[in-house]
């Protein structure tokens, strides 16, 4: 894998994580509600920790893709597992993955999107 391709993958994925983080910071009430509706524990704390984690992952992807890539893959694996579990349980509530931009009902397209993003994380790691 050439450094250019891996670098581009890291930057693209960093942008995605930064957009997700900023959108959650911009509307913390909606973020808390979404986390609560997903049945996650302590949504007030998670509404702060999650966008900080996403932002830190974005920075790591830019500064050190070989470190940020595995962090991104781990986060995406967790997010994908959560979404798949919700879908399999019949829940179609919006994930709020990108704040107000992601108010569409959950679908298997969200899984595909996350798998593509995971691929970017793997490529950025291999650079």
Q: Among 8, 12, 10, which residue's Cα sits nearest to residue 125? A: 10
Q: Which two tokens stand for residue 83?
A: 């979404």
Q: Which of 16-20, 98-102, 115-119, 123-127 is predicted least confidently?
A: 98-102
Burial class of 57 by CB neighbour count within 10 A (0 to 12, 13 to 18, 19+): buried
Task: Return the minimum-mean-pLDDT range out of 17-21, 35-39, 42-46, 68-72.
Answer: 35-39
Q: pLDDT tens-digit profile of 56-93?
A: 999 999 999 999 999 999 999 999 999 999 999 998 88
Residue 47: per-residue pLDDT: 95
Q: What is the pLDDT of residues 90-121, one digit of tens each?
A: 988 888 888 766 778 899 999 999 999 999 99
Q: Which two tokens stand for residue 109?
A: 């397209």
Measured CA distances, 114 to 2, 23, 28 (Å): 23, 18, 23
Which residues, in sequence order, are bridge partners of residue 94?
A: 105
Whole-model pTM: value is: 0.92
Residues 6 or more apart whose CB falls under 8 angstroms from that of 82 comprise 38
Please give the pLDDT value at position 2.
59
Question: If you count DSSP H runs as helices and E runs as strands, how many of each does the chain have, helices first?
Answer: 5, 0
How much is the pLDDT for 43? Answer: 95
pLDDT at 38 exceeding the cut of 90 = no
Residues 6 and 8: their CA atoms lie apart, in Å, by 5
Answer yes or no: is pLDDT of 1 > 70.
no
What pLDDT score was predicted for residue 127? 76
């Amino acid at each position: 894998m050439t450094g250019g391709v891996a670098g581009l993958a890291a930057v693209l994925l960093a942008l995605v994580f930064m957009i997700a983080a900023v959108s959650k910071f911009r509307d913390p009430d909606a973020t808390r509600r979404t986390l609560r509706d997903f049945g996650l524990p302590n949504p007030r704390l998670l509404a702060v920790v999650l966008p900080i984690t996403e932002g830190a992952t974005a920075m790591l992807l830019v500064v050190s893709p070989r470190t940020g890539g595995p962090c991104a893959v781990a986060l995406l694996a967790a997010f994908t597992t959560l979404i798949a579990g919700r879908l399999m349980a019949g829940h179609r509530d919006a994930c709020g993955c990108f704040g107000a931009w992601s108010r569409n009902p959950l679908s298997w397209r969200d899984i595909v999107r996350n798998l593509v993003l995971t691929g970017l994380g793997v490529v950025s790691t291999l650079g």
